[in-house]
A and B are shown apart, each in its own frame.
Chain A
Amino acid sequence: MDPPIINETSFSAANPSSYSLTEIWPFSNINGGANEGLGLKVNSFVSGFGENEESSVTDQSGGRRKQRDAHSEDESSKIVSTSSNNDLRSLNGKRMKVSGSKDELGGLKVDGEGSSGSRSKGAAEQSGKPNEPPKDYIHVRARRGQATDSHSLAERARREKISERMKILQDLVPGCNKVIGKALVLDEIINYIQSLQHQVEFLSMKLEAVNTRMNSPIEGFPTKEQLGPPPFDAAGLLFGSQAAREFGQESQPEWLHMQLGSSFERAT
């Protein structure tokens, strides 16, 4: 039971930058050698994972993987090992959300090891022993060089959601589908909103002009078919009286009256 105690103390130092290769080497050796010593820690991690049955660790190798991953996370996100259970659980939640093929799991794992710099040697040495990729990983698209700690994973998931929403916006703005690049799309969206607001301004100006010209347009609202020629223009009174006879047959006397009134007013 000696090695885990060493692990605990070394991680509770909470200063991950002080790790050197010489400290890591015995750790990886311990990982490779003493299975029963690790059992305790693996069990503690398993109890942390108890919520989601898919990620419950059954075999030792998978557990070791998990633990090693957790340690690398600890190192990169500077979290003390006592809080790593919660961290891992939230990380797993994030992973559960993102679905994907499990074929690229190997790539994810390799990248994760590559990102934790000095540990990659130990990983390379260790990768001979647990050969089969553990089944409890859920794919998050991590390319080479991307971080795999929980914060980056969460951010990546959020970024995917953002791009989804961007897609919705892009569909709303006409002619925006061909535009590539987030900044250009945003420019397009901003321009579109501005143009719409200008249009509202312009249309309200027009509506104001028309609305005041004809006093009460709503009560007797004629459709286009009912009107032959445009009834009122600069011709004025004469035309107006003619229109009065013409529209007398229709059932909108009130509107007609208003129209006539406005035309009179305009003529004077």
Chain B
Amino acid sequence: MSPSHQPTSTNPAYLKNEFAQRFVRALNNLNHANSAARDHNQMHRRTSLVKIAAYTAMASVVGSRRAWSRAVLWRIRKRSRNRGLLLIRNRKRVDHKITSCHHHAKVMSLKRRNPNPKRQGFNPFRDSSQELKLRKLVPGSGTMDSWCLMGETADYIKCLAAQVDVMKTLVDLYATT
């Protein structure tokens, strides 16, 4: 609860610098890893990899202070873990693992739902469909109450704007070279 009381805690310049460093490093790694197979069929996959790299870089800059960054990092870790399982074991086991993960998440969400029952009565969102939309957009906001959701949204917007800014700059730089 305590970090979400200060929605604007991180310095934007620091955020951008760190993100740019990490993202560029990740792009480099991606390039080295993908240099072998390069055809147009894999363009979509590579795009998604770049996107994931960008989100991961931003989430790792923010660290574990925020719920949304924790959610992003956790999702990526789960993804890579499943991917590793996919390589090692057969498909059936992976499916089993995924369902158990989902079950675990569901149990956790049930446990964590509504930490303060006094807050239940008050909802800043008059329109609950808007809140649902917002919860879909902000990662990791499924289990928090609407009071935390607003703080997380503020921080997420800030980080996302910085991310877009840096990525635009990078695209410009690459395009001119």
B-contacting residues of A (Cβ < 8 Å)? 151, 154-155, 158-159, 161-162, 165-166, 168-169, 172-173, 182-183, 186-187, 189-190, 192-194, 196-197, 199-201, 203-212, 214-219, 221-222, 224, 227, 230-231, 259
CA distance A210 to B38 in the complex (A): 13
Residue pair B126, A215 in contact (C-beta under 8 Å): no
Residue pair A201, B133 in contact (C-beta under 8 Å): no
Residue pair B8, A204 in contact (C-beta under 8 Å): no
Answer whether residue B114 sits at the interface, using C-beta atoms and an 8 A cutoff: no
Q: Identify 19 residue pairs between A and B in the complex whose beta-carbon atoms are under 8 Å apart, listed by A's number.
A: A161-B147, A165-B150, A168-B8, A172-B158, A182-B126, A183-B130, A186-B134, A189-B157, A190-B134, A200-B54, A203-B167, A207-B27, A207-B50, A207-B174, A208-B49, A210-B175, A211-B30, A215-B35, A217-B31
- B124 CB contact (under 8 Å) in A166, A194, A222: A166
New A-B contacts (12) at CB < 8 Å, excluding given A158-B122, A161-B147, A194-B137: A154-B118, A169-B153, A189-B153, A190-B133, A192-B157, A193-B138, A193-B160, A204-B47, A208-B50, A216-B32, A217-B177, A227-B176
- B51 CB contact (under 8 Å) in A165, A172, A200, A221: A200
Most buried by B among A159, A162, A194: A162
8 Å CB contacts to A: which residues of B70-91?
A: none
In the bound complex, residues from chain A placing their C-beta under 8 Å from that of B167 are 199-200, 203-204, 207
8 Å CB contacts to A: which residues of B59-110?
A: none
Most buried by A among B28, B35, B53, B124: B124
Most buried by B among A159, A194, A217: A217
In the bound complex, residues from chain B placing their C-beta under 8 Å from that of A161 are 147
CA distance A168 to B158 in the complex (A): 11
A-contacting residues of B (Cβ < 8 Å)? 7-8, 24-25, 27-28, 30-32, 34-35, 38, 43, 46-51, 53-55, 118, 121-122, 124-127, 130, 133-134, 137-138, 147, 150-151, 153-154, 156-158, 160-161, 163-164, 167-168, 170-171, 173-177
Closest 10 CB pairs of A and B: A210-B174, A204-B50, A204-B51, A203-B167, A162-B124, A196-B160, A165-B150, A193-B137, A208-B47, A208-B50
Shortest C-beta distance, B99 to chain A (Å), equals 28
In the bound complex, residues from chain B placing their C-beta under 8 Å from that of A222 are 177
Q: A186-B130, A205-B47 are in contact. Are A200 and B171 (CB under 8 A)?
A: no
In the bound complex, residues from chain B placing their C-beta under 8 Å from that of A219 are 28
Residue pair A165, B151 in contact (C-beta under 8 Å): yes
Residue pair B27, A211 in contact (C-beta under 8 Å): yes
Residue pair B27, A218 in contact (C-beta under 8 Å): yes
CA distance A158 to B122 in the complex (A): 8
In the bound complex, residues from chain A placing their C-beta under 8 Å from that of B31 are 211-212, 215-217
Closest to B170 in A: A207
CA distance A201 to B43 in the complex (A): 13
- B127 CB contact (under 8 Å) in A155, A165, A183, A224: A183
In the bound complex, residues from chain A placing their C-beta under 8 Å from that of B34 are 212
Closest to B25 in A: A218
CA distance A127 to B54 in the complex (A): 67
In the bound complex, residues from chain A placing their C-beta under 8 Å from that of B130 are 183, 186-187, 190
Shortest C-beta distance, B82 to chain A (Å), equals 21
In the bound complex, residues from chain A placing their C-beta under 8 Å from that of B147 are 158, 161-162, 165
- B46 CB contact (under 8 Å) in A199, A206, A208: A208
Most buried by B among A168, A197, A209: A168
